[in-house]
Amino acid sequence: MSRREWNLFSRSITMYNDWIKRVLPPEEMVTDSKQENGGQKNGGKAGFDASDLDPYLLKDPETMAKNFARALENLGQAASAWLAPRERGEISETAVDPMTDMVKTLSKVTEYWIADPRRTFEAQTQLMSSFFGIWMRSMQRMQGEPSPPEPDTRKDKRFSDEDWQKNPFFDFLRQVYFVTSDWAEKMVSETDGLDEHTKHKAGFYVKQITAALSPSNFVATNPQLYRETIATSGENLVRGMKMLAEDIAAGHGDLRLRQTDMTKFAVGRDMALTPGKVIAQNDICQIIQYEASTETVLKRPLLICPPWINKFYILDLNPQKSFIKWCVDQGQTVFVISWVNPDARHAEKDWAAYAREGIDFALETIEKATGEKEVNAVGYCVGGTLLAATLALHAKEKNKRIKTATLFTTQVDFTHAGDLKVFVDEEQLAALEEHMQAAGYLDGSKMSMAFNMLRASELIWPYFVNSYLKGQEPLPFDLLFWNADSTRMAAANHAFYLRNCYLRNALTKNEMILDGKPVSLKDVKIPIYNLATREDHIAPAKSVFLGSQFFGGKVEFVVTGSGHIAGVVNPPDKKKYQFWTGGPAKGEYETWIEQATETPGSWWPHWRAWIETHDGRRVPARKPGGDALNAIEEAPGSYVMERV
């Protein structure tokens, strides 16, 4: 830094410290006010005195300047890591550009409000009057006068630091943010003339914008970040920008958001530990059979069809949380499909391939290993959707191998599919298919980011702040390791799924063609155990409930507490959450859940009883592969090890 730049920086720091002191009331005024209010003021908010300013005053401008320069250097490295693959042509921004769709969608909302000057004036007046009320309350606080209580007292983890309310400046920002966010969402909801999909997209995009622009996401407007930056003289930003550069490099030009310490875990060493063998494999999957831990086992083996959007070991995260291990310990012979992490070679593998070379291949493997033609099957998320469609195909072909099916957080009807529908319309799908056609697959980071966007205020911005602004290494967390261990989507498979399920809702309209045959869920007469989770943002409980009504046989509909992962992976010994049972899934979901019976704890024992009710016969324990198949390798196999 030159002498001239240093002098300018020093003067700016002096001016900043002077400004901080001027914008707050004199110490004696605050002290008097605090005494009059018994140490509290303004409707119970803590008083603010001059000593509260100390953490915000810069004390070492020289070190701050040096660290700021180092942080900028690291930021430059992050920019280079982002630009390099684009300059080499390895990343194209033209095929799938959500920003373009967002601008186009929100412009339709803007057109509605500016088309009528009176409507525009009323909307602006509403917002400005709210701002004026906040300003008046803030000025009364600054002058030590009693002020009306704040109308919005919502609790929000982003604003848990006491200075968000204690400090007038940050309190003002917080209130303005809430008012502006609510106003923007209201503008979307009150826009007439938009089709349902466009309005849904507009509301989703507004939430993404307001989540991104929260004052908690910026150093200058977050009291905790500000104090941290002052206390470390900017060392936190040096560390944070270094991690940002590392994470963009790790994502090969895209940000791979740092949510956990990825060095603390390894598949097969810290997770996916249930003993077993890979006994068969083909181009798209490996079949794992787990070793028995009981002397006898249920006669019917259990086949688990996990989603290919994530890896199967969410059901075998560790011995304490493992659904697979629990099933083995209850006397089940467990087989799991471990999907390949596809690349360009798998571009043409569609749903028919995943049904035939995945589920049917697993059924043939089970018969060879055990001699059993009848099995119980479990499908999780999109794995459950594939299983349901395959059951309909089997019904048409008179294939009766699967005798019961259990679906975890599975949608077969996509009428109420939630915010993921935002990403699916003809225009976006055409662009996505063009992109996948070139590569042969969709990169896993794209799907991971889409899922994170469903809860951006919890899954994106807190990690952004902690890692890149606070400069803190995240704590090791096995679930977040699994979440970051993303998979690619084979082009044909992913396109079929999005078009037939999210866009056309073809399965419940009897319009899905699978392996050249029209399929209908009404043909599926076997017993179904259909599990929904009450707080699911990927497969909403209302959507799972509606889907239950399309099967041709008896459906046991069960709702469990928590969300898409925690609600499913809930071992009985944890004594967490609860589940609801209430008879057939008929009528409205809201009515059903109000009348349902609540049972504390895990749903796993309830499911086990349901399974054994349909066939509780037991046979001597089986060894992996039986006498017909040799083990290829130890579980969890090599397919699951392939990283993006």
Choose among 66, 56, 75: nearest CA to 226.
56
Segment 416-419 long-range contacts (CB within 8 Å, at least 24 positions apart): 416/540, 416/542, 416/543, 416/546, 417/502, 417/539, 417/540, 417/543, 418/454, 418/537, 418/538, 418/539, 418/540, 418/543, 419/200, 419/204, 419/453, 419/454, 419/537
Residue 141 CB neighbour total at 10 angstroms: 23
Cα separation of 147 and 138, whole Å?
A: 8
Residue 350 region by backbone torsions, left for phi larger than 0, else alpha for psi between -120 and 50, else beta: beta
Considering only CA atoms, give the Rg of the chain. Answer: 28
Which residue type does 509 have? Answer: K
Residue 574 CB neighbour total at 10 angstroms: 12
Residues annotated as part of the active site: 381
Sign of CA dihedral 356, 359, 361, 367: negative
Orientation of helix 117-142 relative to helix 168-189, angle to 10°: 160
- What tokens does 302 get? 């259990």
- What tokens does 393 get? 């195909």
CB 233 within 8 A of CB 63: yes
Q: What stretches of 320-443 show up as alpha helix (H) in DSSP? A: 323-329, 351-354, 361-370, 382-397, 426-439
- Residue 45: CA atoms inside 13 Å, Cβ hemisphere, count? 28
- What tokens does 522 get? 């009404």
